[in-house]
Structure 1
Amino acid sequence: MTDAVDELLEQVREEVAVRAERLWEVARTLHADPEYAFDEHRAAALLGAELEREGFAVERGVAGLPTAFAARAGARSRPAVALLLEYDALPGLGHACGHNLIAAAGLGAALAARAVLDGDEGTVWAVGTPAEEGGGGKVTEVEAGLFDGIDAALMFHPGVHSWQWAPLTAQAQYRVGFHGRAAHPTGNPTEGIDALAALIQLFNTLAVVGRRLPEGSHVQGIITDGGRATNIVPEYAEGLFGLRAATTEALEDLAGELLTCAYGVARAMGTTAAVERATPRYEHFRDSAVLSGRFARHLERAGLTVTPPTPGVYLGSSDIGNVSGRVPAIHPFVAIMDPDGSDHTPEFAAAAVSARGREVLLAATEALACTAVEVLLRGDVRRKAWDDHAAGAG
Structure 2
Amino acid sequence: MSTLEAPYHRVREEVARRADALWAVASALHADPEPAFAEHRAAALLTGELRQAGFEVRREVAGLPTAFTARSGRERPTVALLLEYDALPGLGHACGHNLIAAAGLGAALVADAVLGGGEGSVLAVGTPAEECGGGKALEVAAGVFDDVDAALMFHPGVYDWVRAPLTASEQYRIGFRGRAAHPTGNPTEGIDALAALIELFNVLSAVGRRLPEGSHVQGIITQGGTATNIVPEYAEGRFGLRALTAGALDELADGLRTCAEGVARATGTSFEVERTSVRYEHFRDSEVLSEHFAGHLTRAGIDLSPPVPGVYLGSSDIGNVSARVPSIHPFVAIMDADGSDHTPAFAAAAASERGRRVLEAVVEALACTAVDVLRDTGLRDRAWDGHR
TM range (shorter): over 0.9
1:154 aligns with 2:141: no
Shift of 1:120: 2.5
Shift of 1:114: 0.2
> Where do residues 339-354 of structure 1 align in structure 2 (5 Å cutoff)?
339-354=337-352
SS at match of 2:5: helix
Shift of 1:283: 0.4
> Where do residues 42-121 of structure 1 align in structure 2 (5 Å cutoff)?
42-76=41-75, 78-121=76-119
Counterpart-to-counterpart distance in 1, 2:135 and 2:143: 13
Instruction: Please give the per-residue CA displacement for 1:173-225, whole angstroms capped at 9, x wherever unaligned.
Output: 11000000101111111110000000000000000000000000001000000
The TM-score with structure 2 as length reference comes to: 0.99
Residue 259 of structure 2: aligned partner: 261
Counterpart-to-counterpart distance in 2, 1:118 and 1:30: 28
Residue 12 of structure 1: aligned partner: 11
Q: CA RMSD in A?
A: 0.7
> Where do residues 111-260 of structure 1 align in structure 2 (5 Å cutoff)?
111-260=109-258
Counterpart-to-counterpart distance in 2, 1:362 and 1:303: 12
Shift of 1:10: 1.2
Contact 1:192 1:233 (8 Å CA) reproduced: yes
Residue 337 of structure 1: aligned partner: 335
Counterpart-to-counterpart distance in 2, 1:210 and 1:75: 50
Counterpart-to-counterpart distance in 1, 2:103 and 2:377: 25
Counterpart-to-counterpart distance in 2, 1:303 and 1:51: 29
Q: Which amino acid aligns with 1:290?
A: V
Consecutive unaligned residues of structure 1, counting only runs of 5 or more, are: none
Instruction: Please give the per-residue CA displacement for 1:277-300, whole angstroms capped at 9, x wherever unaligned.
Output: 110110000000000000000001
SS at match of 1:384: helix
Q: Which amino acid aligns with 2:69?
A: A
Shift of 1:303: 2.0
Counterpart-to-counterpart distance in 1, 2:288 and 2:182: 65
Residue 284 of structure 2: aligned partner: 286
Counterpart-to-counterpart distance in 1, 2:117 and 2:267: 66
Shift of 1:2: 2.5
Contact 1:75 1:120 (8 Å CA) reproduced: no
Shift of 1:13: 1.2
1:315 aligns with 2:313: yes
Shift of 1:370: 0.4
Instruction: Please give the per-residue CA displacement for 1:71-105, whole angstroms capped at 9, x wherever unaligned.
Output: 000142x0000000000000010000000000000
Counterpart-to-counterpart distance in 2, 1:66 and 1:302: 37
* Identity over aligned pairs, percent: 73
Residue 274 of structure 2: aligned partner: 276
The TM-score with structure 1 as length reference comes to: 0.98
Consecutive unaligned residues of structure 2, counting only runs of 5 or more, are: none
Counterpart-to-counterpart distance in 2, 1:335 and 1:119: 32
Residue 28 of structure 1: aligned partner: 27
Instruction: Please give the per-residue CA displacement for 1:308-335, whole angstroms capped at 9, x wherever unaligned.
Output: 1001110000000000000000000000
Shift of 1:268: 0.4
Counterpart-to-counterpart distance in 1, 2:234 and 2:101: 43
Shift of 1:305: 1.3
SS at match of 1:182: coil
Counterpart-to-counterpart distance in 1, 2:154 and 2:334: 12
Q: Which amino acid aligns with 2:67?
A: A
Q: Which amino acid aligns with 2:210?
A: R
Counterpart-to-counterpart distance in 1, 2:170 and 2:19: 38
Counterpart-to-counterpart distance in 2, 1:74 and 1:7: 21
Counterpart-to-counterpart distance in 2, 1:193 and 1:286: 46
Shift of 1:6: 2.4
SS at match of 1:19: helix
| Count, aligned residues | 388
Shift of 1:118: 2.8
Counterpart-to-counterpart distance in 2, 1:45 and 1:84: 16
